[in-house]
Structure 1
Amino acid sequence: MVQVSERRPVGRKKLAAVIAAAALLLSGCSPVDESELKRLALPIAGSDRSEPMWHLWLGTWIAVLVVFVLVFALILYAPIRYRRRAGQTAAPSQIRYNLPIEALYTIAPLVVVAAFFFHTVQAQNSMLDDSETPDHTIEVVGSKWQWTFNYLDSEATGGEPVYDQGDTENLPDLYLPVDETVEFQLFSPDVIHSFWIPEFYFKMDVIPGEGPQDNRFQMTPTREGTFTGRCAELCGVYHTRMLFNVHVVSRAEYDAHLEELQQEGQIGRPQGASDATTVTGLGDHGGEG
């Protein structure tokens, strides 16, 4: 049998260089960049809680890229390194198992999952931090299939609660002051919904029960603009129509809007129950979802 010299395996230094270059390329991305590619498909960040989620998202991309490069390199390496060569008649030697490789296949996923879990908990704790004293408190009521936003303890209205409300045809508006901390208190009179504003990189379930549940969080909007909020929990037939407009404005515009609600008689804290079965365009009652 013709002796064929073995080729040297793919250089580890080259592989490490490729991974380092890819990680360096991703590190140049930013959640506030105008390019969607450099934001890694996320919307432009709009809150102080976006940063922890961005770092988790970026780290996930780097980890995925490292795994992809390693696996793809091995896929290419194996058939090239162990292909049948000219003059070779015997089949490659067969083995039933390789203990070091099997140990690696078992341990490596555990390490990856543990690392993801650790950084996810860190990001979660940062995003749920409520150590600050909020400047404003807003009660969010999600019901089938609409949103109600109760502005509580507002100086502009002398402490009198006022509200914004809408339906699936006339979307409700949520006004937030830029660069001021808001505490959101979430409540549902019927089924589980989910309060989500994509630009804030954050969402939380709205849980039904007797009185407001302990689902609350604090957030500071950092960028003025108009965004679209939505329900992120399948809550019934008209779940996809459960949208709302988010207006992040200056403090003066925020106070002016609340004063306008007060003048229009939108005073109080409606809990959504009286309108929970009303669906625009389908008569008085839309039925259960």
Structure 2
Amino acid sequence: MSPTRRTTRRSLARRRVPRAAALALLLATATACANDVPKFDWSNGLLPEGVTEQAEVVQHLWNGAWIAALATGLVVIVLIVWAAIFHRKRRSKAELPPQVRYNLPIEILYTVIPLVMVSVFFFFTARDSKALTDVAGDAPVKVKVEAYQWSWRFTTTYNGKTTQPVPGMPVSDYREGPQLVLPTNTKVEFDLSTDDVIHSFWVPEFLFKRDIIPGIPEGNPGRKFEIKTLGDDRVGIYAGRCAELCGVDHSRMLFKVKLVKQAEFDQYIATQAGSAQ
């Protein structure tokens, strides 16, 4: 290879490194640029610790999919190594190995096994997807979520009392964004709406997110989802964000979810509903 070609290849490689780094940075920041990275744990399959019953459903599906995928990969690797070691024969370059037209039992096996695997994956995915999207309509706490460029407005209704919605502003820290207060060990129904562009409501500890699409009329099931918060051991503040690139200040479209005990939530509703609409 001539020195000119080597120099050209080296210069191309040097150009690709910054481009790859920029692409990786873009992918990492596409959902949000918040400074609130949830804690990931190997025991949770590198997912955040869930704070809802629905998060446990996602966790089990995630773990099961990884176990099945790793088991399948292990079987394939063992078969490859076994074939490479025990069926290796030295032949001359001119000599071809025996040519086999087909093996009906093997072909049937290779067709049936993937069909069974895909069917099993589909069954569990469909079952859990239905559990995550079902809305019974009997949640005692109802939250109306209004997304707009570039913040959130939350209206909570509980026991006939409605809090006054306070519009938020784009922020650089989720702790400064609008706050959604929810009680522990309670079912909550969310109604999502927007009047401008597509947004996405995401709290990582929910292990669930839902796109908010403009033009969907009120009462449409596609706007709603339900969660059941876990017990008092999950009390705390959790970061939320928009997970859909929605404009210039998308990265600052942050909010926080505060999980509190029932008594504190009752007090919060009593104080916030004084100027209810």
TM-score (ref. length: structure 2): 0.73
Count matched residues.
229
Picking from 157, 170, 183, the partner of 2:189 is 183
Indicate if the aligned counterparts of 2:40 and 2:48 stay in contact, CA closer than 8 A: no
The alpha-carbon deviation at position 71 of structure 1 amounts to: 0.9
The alpha-carbon deviation at position 259 of structure 1 amounts to: 4.3
Alpha-carbon distance change, 133 to 188 in structure 1, aligned in 2, over 3 angstroms: same
Alpha-carbon distance change, 124 to 80 in structure 1, aligned in 2, over 3 angstroms: same
Counterpart in 1 of 2:140?
A: 135
1:166 aligns with 2:171: no
Indicate if the aligned counterparts of 2:145 and 2:153 stay in contact, CA closer than 8 A: yes
Counterpart in 2 of 1:20?
A: none
Q: Deviations over 1:28-58 (max 9, x none)?
A: xxxxxx9811111011111111222122112
1:101 aligns with 2:112: no
Alpha-carbon distance change, 96 to 168 in structure 1, aligned in 2, over 3 angstroms: farther
Comparing both structures, which one devotes a greater share of its residues to helix? 2
Structure 2: how far apart are the matches of 1:35 and 1:171?
A: 23
Alpha-carbon distance change, 94 to 115 in structure 1, aligned in 2, over 3 angstroms: same
Q: Deviations over 1:184-219 (max 9, x none)?
A: 111111222221212122222212126434321221
Instruction: Look up the SS of the partner of 2:75 in the other structure.
Output: helix
The alpha-carbon deviation at position 262 of structure 1 amounts to: 4.6
Structure 1: how far apart are the matches of 2:181 and 2:162?
A: 16
1:46 aligns with 2:51: yes
Q: Deviations over 1:77-114 (max 9, x none)?
A: 11101112599x96532334434333333333332222
Indicate if the aligned counterparts of 2:183 and 2:229 stay in contact, CA closer than 8 A: yes
Counterpart in 2 of 1:230?
A: 241
Q: Deviations over 1:153-177 (max 9, x none)?
A: x34xx62442243122141111101
Superposition CA RMSD, Å = 2.7
Q: Deviations over 1:119-159 (max 9, x none)?
A: 1111122223333621111101112221111112x34xx62
Higher RCO, 1 or 2 (CA under 8 Å, sep at least 6)?
Answer: 2
Report sequence identity in percent.
Answer: 40
5+ long unaligned stretches in structure 2: 1-38
Indicate if the aligned counterparts of 2:156 and 2:163 stay in contact, CA closer than 8 A: yes
Indicate if the aligned counterparts of 1:195 and 1:206 stay in contact, CA closer than 8 A: yes
Give the letter aligned to residue 191 of structure 1.
V
Alpha-carbon distance change, 76 to 134 in structure 1, aligned in 2, over 3 angstroms: same
Structure 2: how far apart are the matches of 1:237 and 1:105?
A: 50
Counterpart in 1 of 2:268?
A: 257
Indicate if the aligned counterparts of 1:164 and 1:173 stay in contact, CA closer than 8 A: no
